[in-house]
Amino acid sequence: MAGLRFIREFRDPKLAQSLARQIAAEVDPNRTYRFMEFCGGHTHAIARYGIPALLPPNLRMIHGPGCPVCVLPPGRVAQAIAIAEQPNVTLCAYGDVLRVPARKGESLLAAKAQGADVRMVGSALEAVALAEANPQREVVFFAIGFETTTPPTAAAILTAQAKGLRNFSVLCCHVLTPSAIMSILESSEARRWGSAQLDGFVGPAHVSVVIGSRPYEFFAEEYQKPVVIAGFEPLDVLHALLLLVRQVNEGRAAVENQYTRAVTRDGNRKAQALVAQVFELRKTFAWRGLGVLPYSALRIRAGFSEFDAEARFAIPAPEISDHPACECGAILRGHKSPRDCKLFAKACTPETPLGSCMVSSEGACAAYYHYGRFQERSAAVEAEEV
């Protein structure tokens, strides 16, 4: 009960309204504020708690590429499917990954329906345990995610090594947050927008617990974009937006840590050391929506190559494009919103996703589908009544 009470403190409606009034009082009515929430968890929270309805009309939230399931490129999903379809193989993955579309409706879930041994796991160590219990089968863990989920994958590889498991491997698709932010700031859309069109970032929460606030200092200094790291509760997000508004008004660009109860400047050094022991940078990696980015992802070090599924199975990563009418790529770059996609809530729904942004609850399209479209409908009804 104490934990629930602690959470409620960050969802207090009166405090939320007070923060909203502060934001409205401090925004300059003669300018527009555009802040990108990078993290998919923030996108979900913003939609779930109806935060846009509390903000002044000249403060706009832009969705970023911080959903780990959303940025997974179709070619990597196809590679996982190809491995899963091989005989004597069990492929393990986190739940949402199973539904990510690859090509012509194919997914890991569809492969499972066709007879492939695909398992949903809640952690990488579950896959290790499965390999230990089934020494006659090749068990592959499809590892995805940003810096948050990378240390557990490293721990799984080290555990498999300590146990002497020769039937466990990892298909590594871990990606890095700073590289994605860099790609947004260097994108062709950003250059067309001009520097004034993206005013700052709501920095990710869980990722920052691991890497700390230090990596964002480069973006504040080099690009003059303020970053405020925020927790996931509605009061966290509103407070972060107030801090961003103040920085913009004062002409400052600094990294501020609103989420001090969990994030430090240096982050979790033990987790960072664990990752550095097992992984190294890839020279290039293809992201969904962002293209091929240099030094934006991790691969397994040569010293642990026996646990590298890419080396073990030698499956090429094919070039596969998104559905031609899907706007997921533009949404991930912050160039468009879900409502700009002609497929949204029509051909593309959480039950029948055509793009990855509709799969995970952290995806912008899924968040809009579950929460935003009803808020927009309610607003339209209120306008008609007035």
- Residue 191's pLDDT is 53
Side chain identity, residue 60? R
Q: Where are the alpha helices (H) located in 254-346, listed in sequence order?
A: 269-278, 309-313, 328-332
3-state SS, residue 12:
coil
Percentage with pLDDT > 70 across the chain = 92
> Has residue 111 got a pLDDT over 50?
yes
Same fold, 12-67+178-204+213-257 and 74-174+268-313: yes
Q: How many CB atoms lie within 10 A of CB 173?
A: 25
Percentage with pLDDT > 90 across the chain = 76
Q: Quick one: pLDDT band at residue 1, thresholds 50, 70, 90?
A: very low
The domain segmentation of the chain, as residue ranges, is 12-67+178-204+213-257, 74-174+268-313, 328-381
Q: How many CB atoms lie within 10 A of CB 303?
A: 11
Q: Are 50 and 371 in contact (CB under 8 A)?
A: yes
**The pTM of the whole model exceeds 0.95:** no
Report the alpha-carbon distance of residue 27 to residue 186 in Å, rounded.
27
pLDDT tens digits, one per residue of 282-327? 999 999 888 899 999 999 999 999 999 999 997 876 677 777 889 9
Report the alpha-carbon distance of residue 269 to residue 266 in Å, rounded.
7
Tell me which CATH code domain 12-67+178-204+213-257 carries: 3.40.50.11750
**Residue, of 372 and 152, whose pLDDT is higher:** 152
> Has residue 187 got a pLDDT over 50?
yes
Q: Average the pLDDT over each of 11-20, 73-82, 120-129, 314-323 and give the range with the smallest value.
A: 314-323
CA distances to 151, 158, 233, 251, 306 from 164, rounded to whole Å, are 20, 10, 43, 57, 11
Report the alpha-carbon distance of residue 247 to residue 350 in Å, rounded.
38
- Residue 227's pLDDT is 97
Cα dihedral 103, 108, 113, 114, rounded to 10, equals 60
pLDDT tens digits, one per residue of 36-71? 998 999 999 999 999 999 999 999 999 999 899 999
The chain-wide mean pLDDT, for the chain, equals 90
Q: Are 64 and 334 in contact (CB under 8 A)?
A: yes
Contacts 24+ apart (CB under 8 A), 3-9: 7/233, 9/235
Domain at 74-174+268-313, CATH class: alpha beta
Q: Quick one: pLDDT band at residue 5, thresholds 50, 70, 90?
A: low
Q: What angle do CA 5, 267, 187 make, to 5 degrees?
A: 105
3-state SS, residue 5:
helix
